Structure 1
Amino acid sequence: MALRFASLGSGSKGNATVVEGGGTRVLIDCGFGLRETAARLARLDLLPQQIDAILVTHEHGDHAGGVAPLARRWNIPVHLTHGTARSHRAFAGMALHCFDADVDFEIGALRIRAFSVPHDAAQPCQYRVECCGVGLGVVSDLGHVSANVVHALQGVDALALECNHDPQLLAAGPYPPSLKARVGGDWGHLANAQAAQLLARLDLTRLQHLWLTHLSEVNNSPAHALDAVAPALADHALQAHCANQSQGFDWCEVVA
């Protein structure tokens, strides 16, 4: 048996990651509308009604905008922090499974660790999912690398990691000063070099897959992101890959 994961799309226009193991299948975030979500799931040979639960990281539209419609249409349980539930009007009146960040819980065969991250949202978290003797980290939308994030991701077998922007491209780009300050601030998004610094602090011995996610289409490029993380991978027989907005990435199997 193996754990596997795939991305429906990754970027500022929408994010969603499918994780499957032991007969349980969850969707981490959903920033796409109903039809778009169904079409993207179909590329993975999945139907919306095959999703057992949705895990929400935070309330921003590119992550949570499609969660309530999908959950209501197909009666899918939604798991999220108390702060995220209170901050999004779309969740009002829904039966939600709320928790405080930095907790472990189980959904079917999957062991979930929700860990808090520094981001400008109500009570944001990211996730580590374990099953079949392996662990996957899915982390984006954080302004800096906290000790809590490093601890949560130690020893993972696969990792989907935000590489949102190149600081020089951000500084020279078209964003207004206020947005540049937000994106590049301690509660915004992870720069390529910060992602590389996180990798340097992790034990990568077991790492089988590394996907760089949430790349800005304006302030970054796959070449910039891959060049930034290359030194952290120099001692490991591992190739990083970049997820994109339109396709995400196909199934990746993580074996024990």
Structure 2
Amino acid sequence: MKATSLGSGSKGNALLVSVRNGQTETTVMFDCGFGIREIKRRLERVHCLPEQVSALVVTHEHGDHARGVLPFLHRYRVPVWMSEGTFRAIGKDFSGVDLHLCRDGDSFTVRDLQVSAFAVSHDAREPLQFHVTDGAVKFGMLTDTGQVTVPIRQALSGCNVLMLECNYDDDMLKRSSYPFVVRKRIGSVFGHLSNRCAADFLSEFDSVHLTKVIGAHLSETNNLPDLAFRSLHDVVDTGRVAVMVASQVDGFGWTEISG
């Protein structure tokens, strides 16, 4: 199993998780926060054709995650999973779309991958995050949440690779030119995880099987890749856990998920 990000940040997000089983390959795309032309360009960059995407999963309705969802679905006719709240919040024409609704605690199968949903704390209608397994290894994602709850910890327990939000640096956010109400929203329990919050979570994480952690969804205004990297690097056993940081422009390249 392997994963790649096509871009991670407030200007657009998309993630691929893929597994090959003999002659067949299953590729699930999580979110489509780019326009159809741009998502095609980014897919080509990682040597994946849009027609190779087996399914689309949408975490929530915000534009940086859902901007290209309907154009992609109408053009490539892949099945899509999202919460009922996300479906209602998008509020557009899903006619002709192979739509599946899921909620906190649900699991579903896309060919050779099992995808499991869990609820997060974010200012969206019914936001979800997901972990994925092929039966041998487990990949987990946690972005767009303002806090880490016990159920979130339980859902991500046992991950081999974890993509973890490091949205902002506390000091940079305090000094930001953002209006007070925006800064308050970002730092609230319905906003995003800071570098410090991500590090606190990771320091207590069940990391027995963890081989890699990827900082993600960095603010281009209120964070720096070096700050995010250092926050994660300082709380893991770097002898066995690699640390990397995803970017808005390049995401991160194909990364093997191994035990």
Tell me the equivalent position of 2:148.
145
Distance 1:148 1:191 in 2: 19
Q: Percent of counterpart pairs with the same letter?
A: 39
Bigger shift: 192-201 or 182-191? 192-201
Q: Trace 1:87-102 onto structure 2 (pairs within 5 A).
A: 87-93=89-95, 94-102=97-105
Give 1:155 shift. 1.0
Letter of the structure 2 residue corresponding to residue 40 of structure 1: R
Distance 2:184 2:120 in 1: 18
Tell me the equivalent position of 1:43.
45
Letter of the structure 1 residue corresponding to residue 213 of structure 2: L
Could you list the per-position Cα deviations for residues 175-224 of structure 1 after superposition, in whole angstroms to 9, with x for gaps in the alignment? 00110011010100001111111112212122122110000000000111
Tell me the equivalent position of 1:110.
113
Distance 1:245 1:69 in 2: 21
Could you list the per-position Cα deviations for residues 51-94 of structure 1 after superposition, in whole angstroms to 9, with x for gaps in the alignment? 01001000000001111110110101110011111111235434
Q: 1:198 aligns to what SS in structure 2? A: helix
Structure 1, unpaired ranges of 5+: none
Q: Does 1:157 align with 2:155?
A: no
Tell me the equivalent position of 1:197.
200
Distance 1:156 1:90 in 2: 35
Q: Trace 1:59-138 onto structure 2 (pairs within 5 A).
A: 59-93=61-95, 94-138=97-141
Tell me the equivalent position of 1:19.
17
Letter of the structure 1 residue corresponding to residue 234 of structure 2: P
Distance 2:141 2:100 in 1: 20
Distance 1:222 1:44 in 2: 22
Tell me the equivalent position of 2:209.
206
| Count of residue pairs the alignment pairs up | 254
Structure 2, unpaired ranges of 5+: none
Asked if the contact 1:163–1:212 (Cα under 8 Å) also holds between the matched residues in 2, the reply is yes
2:247 to 244, 251, 256: 244
Distance 2:60 2:229 in 1: 27
Q: 1:223 aligns to what SS in structure 2? A: helix
Distance 2:116 2:144 in 1: 17
Q: Does 1:226 align with 2:210?
A: no
Distance 1:160 1:247 in 2: 15
- TM-score, length of structure 1 as denominator length: 0.96
Bigger shift: 234-243 or 143-152? 234-243
Give 1:116 shift. 0.3
- TM-score, length of structure 2 as denominator length: 0.95
Instruction: Report the RMSD for the aligned CA atoms in angstroms.
Output: 1.3
Distance 1:106 1:234 in 2: 33
Give 1:95 shift. 3.6
Q: 1:90 aligns to what SS in structure 2? A: coil
Asked if the contact 1:205–1:236 (Cα under 8 Å) also holds between the matched residues in 2, the reply is no
Q: 2:130 aligns to what SS in structure 1? A: strand
Q: 1:233 aligns to what SS in structure 2? A: coil
